[in-house]
Structure formats: structure tokens, C-alpha cells
């Protein structure tokens, strides 16, 4: 047996997963409260003790970790045009596993600078202008950032003609220059900036989060937790060296504060009668709905869907649904634990969290009339042909109605212009292993893929 320990230092819970490389099997999982405010080793030790109650004592040959502890990788970005370079900066940040605090467009103001100073992000991504294009905006923003006393790292990934000038303006700070996230109009080049962001996370951010206290116990902290999940999603979709993947997919992770959506699909128009508008979407895309969550962001679900719809889905009266929503908004730690009304309400909340988040993630299509007749205009990714939906998150994996909840990611005739999947199989991450498999795939991708194909339970809809 060659057991490997995979650790996810979450903001609330530290989750541990043990796998055996020889048998290519999951040995067990466990979790304990993350003790980031004191010594993160305490929470890790507690989780390992719980794990070994299930597996027995294990002599781990390797230990790897990812982290979203202490709020995750908090980033602020600035670009030129909201729909172009600012959007490219947002895509690059989310793809690197970051939590976007704010996206600024055009020239930063004194009020913007005060906001950035107070937020003190883990990383600032400074972009703007295509190569050889507008340089005034990014240079102005560099000058404004130089006045902030905080020493957060700044990644410059804008107009290459202005990059060195920005670096000189920001001399004395931690500055990293990489390729433009949008070198040409409408061309996305996110990977260089994402790679740089991950490197900063590894070498600096984990120290600030206190996670290096656990360094003696692990072989290495490899990436932010969302990056690990993204790697698992890509591996599962694409396969690896002869081991087939399951094809294009959407992954949905519904949490207490946010709902993350991943799509691994091309998503471009496949019809000559459809034209594409806007910045091309990345093949592997992640979005985070910071206002959509089961507890801390319960108000966002209510605002997006309305109490009437929540009442209809839950079977509760609108008045009773409203009372329970108000209660959960204050008592965020409360779980149903057999309470039928709370189970009914959570079913509705999770369903509408997925519906809202996937609708925002997917593209849209609309009719346009031209001299040649009707033309269709697509914005964002066309996910109608995606055949697989991966469901994870506590509210989805701890219920028998997961498939019914996850089905709200699919096409709905009440919103015919949304390009969500028309028919898909539901795969459920019952053991909550996606982040762990993303970690494992850094060194053992084939084994990680095989374990996912064994452990993810297919539930038809």
C-alpha cells in the first residue's frame, strides 16, 4: 500500500482525503474545524485523527494541500473597457482560483484608491489596452497604485508597450510583469497571468495565511482550492494518456456563502446563422456568484428568485418560507438535521442557487433581423450540448434529492434564451473529493482520473 494524504485547508473546515496509489482507491475522508486564527496544525491533526478512526493508522508516502483558508486568494483587478480588458482580467483571476473583491474599469479615482487601501487585497492585477494600443489608462492607474502604502503584490498584464513604464512607476513594490491578458482585440491570453498568480500564492500568500505552520507535515501546498477543483474538472472531462474522460461538463459547487460554476466546453456557435458577440469565453471557465449561497448569502437567492418561487418549490407557504429564511440568515450554522420544513426549504434554495448561478455562467442567444433575414446573436458560452453535470457542495451531497436539485442547471422553457444544457446526466461527488483529486493529478493524473470515475456516482434525470 502507498497511501497519500490530500488536504484542503478551507475557510471553515480542513478536509482530508486518503488514497492508495497501489490499488487506486479512496481509503477515506474526514474534516475538522480550521484553526487558522491559532495554529492551523490543530485543525489538521483533528481531521487526521477522525480519518484514521475510519482507515486505521496510515504511513503516508506523500502529503499535498490546497487552501482557501482565511478568505481564500482575494484579488482586485483593473482594466480599460468593462467588456474587454477588465473582463479579461476577471477571467484570468477567477481561472487562477481567486476570489474577486472588485473589478475596476477606466482610470482609477481617489475614491477607488481609498477602497483598495482599505481592502488590502492579496494580489492586484493591473491590465489595460491591447499591445500597442491605449497606454494612458494603465500608466495612470500604476501612478495611483504607487501612492498606496500597503505592500500587496501587483501583477502587470496589460499593454506591453506600457509594462516597463508601469514597473518603473511601481519600483520598490513587489511587481511581476507577464504577457498581456488581451494582446489583440477580442483575443484572450489568460494563462501567463494565471500562472504568475498561482506562483505568488505559493511563495507568499500561504505564509500570510499562516499555513506554513503545517509545512513540516506536508510535501507542498500546490494551489488555491478552486484551482484544484478546476484541474479535477478538466482531467475528468478530457481524460489522460489513453484513459478516457467523460466529455464536456458543467460542475456546480453550492456553498454557504458562494456558488462556484465550472464549464469545460468550447461553447462557440456551431451554426452559420449564429454570430458571436463579445470577448471569446475560455474553454475551461470558472465563475463565482458571491451573492448566492445557502446561508451567508441566502438573501441573494431570495433577491434573484423571489419568495414566491421559493414557496412554490419548497411547498411551504410564502409566509413560512420568509420566516425560515430570516432565521437562517442569522443562524448560519443551522442544518436541517431531520427537520422536514428546513429540508424542504433547503431543497428550494439549493435548486434556485444552481438555476441562478448556471444561468449567469452560461451564454444567451437572441434574434436579430438583417437584410438577409433572421440572424442569431450569441453572447457567452453555448452549453446546450453539454451532457454531464457534476454536483458537489454540502447542500447537494447530503441529500437524496441531488439529481432533482442539479437538474435546475438545465434548460428551462421559461428562459428560452439561456444556453444551458438541454439534456444531461448528473454525477454526484458524494465523498467531496474533487479538490483532492485535482491535487493528486499534479503527480498522479491517471490514478486521480480513475478514482473520480469510480467515486462520482451517476444519477440519471
> 70 pLDDT band (50/70/90 cuts)?
low
Distance of CA 267 to the CA centre of its chain: 18
- Residues 361, 285 contacting (CB under 8 angstroms): yes
Band (pLDDT 50/70/90 cuts) for residue 220 is low
Mean per-residue pLDDT, 170-194: 92
High-pLDDT (> 90) share of the chain, %: 64
Identify the CA nearest to 347 among candidates 388, 408, 306, 289: 408
For 337-376, write each residue's pLDDT tens digit.
889 999 999 999 999 999 999 999 999 999 888 777 788 9
Nearest CA-CA partner of 127 in 89, 75, 100: 89
Please give the class, per CATH, of domain 73-204: alpha beta
Q: Do domains 73-204 and 239-459 have the same CATH topology?
A: no
**Residue 138 three-state SS:** helix
| Contact (Cβ atoms closer than 8 angstroms) between residue 89 and residue 138 | no
Average pLDDT along the chain = 89
pLDDT value of residue 158: 95
Report long-range pairs for 320-328 (Cβ below 8 Å, ≥24 apart).
321/345, 321/348, 325/298, 328/295, 328/298
Domain boundary assignment for the chain: 3-70+209-218, 73-204, 239-459
For residue 302, the SS3 value is: helix
Q: Which of 5-19, 30-44, 114-128 has the lowest mean pLDDT?
A: 30-44
CATH 3.30.420 is the classification of domain 239-459 = yes
Instruction: Report whether pLDDT(451) > 80.
Output: yes
Q: Note the pLDDT of residue 461.
A: 40
* pLDDT tens, position by position, 232-243: 999 999 999 989
Residue 221 confidence (pLDDT) above 70: no
CA distance 374 to 416: 17
- State the architecture of 3-70+209-218 in CATH terms: 2-Layer Sandwich (3.30)
Amino acid at each position: 500500500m502507498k497511501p497519500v494524504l490530500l488536504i484542503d485547508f478551507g475557510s471553515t473546515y480542513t478536509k482530508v482525503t486518503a488514497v492508495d496509489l497501489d490499488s487506486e482507491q479512496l481509503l477515506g475522508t474526514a474534516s475538522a474545524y480550521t484553526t487558522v486564527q491559532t495554529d492551523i496544525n490543530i485543525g489538521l491533526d483533528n481531521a487526521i485523527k477522525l480519518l484514521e478512526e475510519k482507515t486505521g493508522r496510515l504511513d503516508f508516502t506523500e502529503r499535498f494541500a490546497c487552501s482557501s483558508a482565511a478568505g481564500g486568494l482575494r484579488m482586485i483587478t483593473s482594466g480599460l473597457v468593462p467588456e474587454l480588458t477588465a473582463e479579461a482580467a476577471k477571467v484570468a483571476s477567477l481561472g487562477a482560483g481567486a476570489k474577486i473583491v472588485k473589478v475596476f474599469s477606466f482610470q482609477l479615482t481617489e475614491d477607488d484608491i481609498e477602497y483598495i487601501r482599505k481592502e488590502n487585497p492579496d494580489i492586484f492585477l493591473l491590465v489595460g489596452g491591447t499591445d500597442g494600443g491605449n497606454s494612458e489608462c494603465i500608466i495612470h492607474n500604476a501612478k495611483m497604485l504607487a501612492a498606496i502604502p500597503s505592500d500587496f503584490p501587483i501583477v502587470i498584464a496589460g499593454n506591453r508597450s506600457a509594462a516597463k513604464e508601469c514597473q518603473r512607476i511601481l519600483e520598490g513594490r513587489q511587481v511581476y510583469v507577464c504577457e498581456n491578458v488581451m494582446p489583440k482585440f477580442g483575443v484572450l491570453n489568460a494563462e501567463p497571468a494565471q500562472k504568475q498568480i498561482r506562483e505568488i500564492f505559493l511563495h507568499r500568500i500561504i505564509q500570510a495565511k499562516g499555513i506554513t505552520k503545517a509545512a513540516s507535515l506536508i510535501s507542498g501546498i500546490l494551489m488555491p482550492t478552486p484551482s484544484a477543483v478546476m484541474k479535477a474538472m478538466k482531467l475528468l472531462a478530457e481524460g489522460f494518456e489513453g484513459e478516457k474522460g467523460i466529455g464536456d461538463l458543467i460542475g456546480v459547487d453550492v456553498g454557504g456563502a458562494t456558488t462556484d460554476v465550472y464549464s469545460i466546453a468550447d461553447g462557440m456557435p456551431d451554426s452559420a446563422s449564429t454570430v458571436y458577440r463579445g470577448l471569446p469565453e475560455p474553454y475551461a471557465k470558472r465563475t463565482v456568484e458571491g451573492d448566492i449561497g445557502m446561508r451567508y448569502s441566502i438573501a441573494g437567492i431570495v433577491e434573484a428568485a423571489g419568495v414566491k418561487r421559493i414557496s412554490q418549490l419548497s411547498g411551504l407557504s410564502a409566509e413560512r418560507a420568509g420566516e425560515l429564511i430570516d432565521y437562517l440568515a442569522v443562524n448560519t450554522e443551522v442544518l436541517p438535521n431531520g427537520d422536514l420544513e428546513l429540508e424542504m426549504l433547503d431543497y428550494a434554495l439549493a435548486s434556485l442557487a444552481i438555476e441562478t448561478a448556471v444561468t449567469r455562467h452560461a451564454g444567451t442567444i437572441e434574434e436579430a433581423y438583417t437584410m438577409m433575414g433572421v440572424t442569431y446573436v450569441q453572447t457567452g458560452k453555448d452549453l446546450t450540448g453539454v451532457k454531464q453535470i457534476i454536483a458537489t457542495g454540502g447542500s447537494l451531497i447530503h441529500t437524496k434529492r441531488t439529481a432533482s436539485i442539479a437538474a435546475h442547471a438545465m434548460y428551462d422553457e421559461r428562459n428560452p434564451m439561456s444556453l444551458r444544457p438541454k439534456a444531461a446526466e448528473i454525477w454526484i461527488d458524494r465523498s467531496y473529493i474533487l479538490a483532492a483529486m485535482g491535487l493528486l493529478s499534479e503527480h498522479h493524473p491517471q490514478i486521480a482520473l480513475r478514482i473520480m470515475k469510480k467515486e462520482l456516482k451517476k444519477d440519471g434525470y
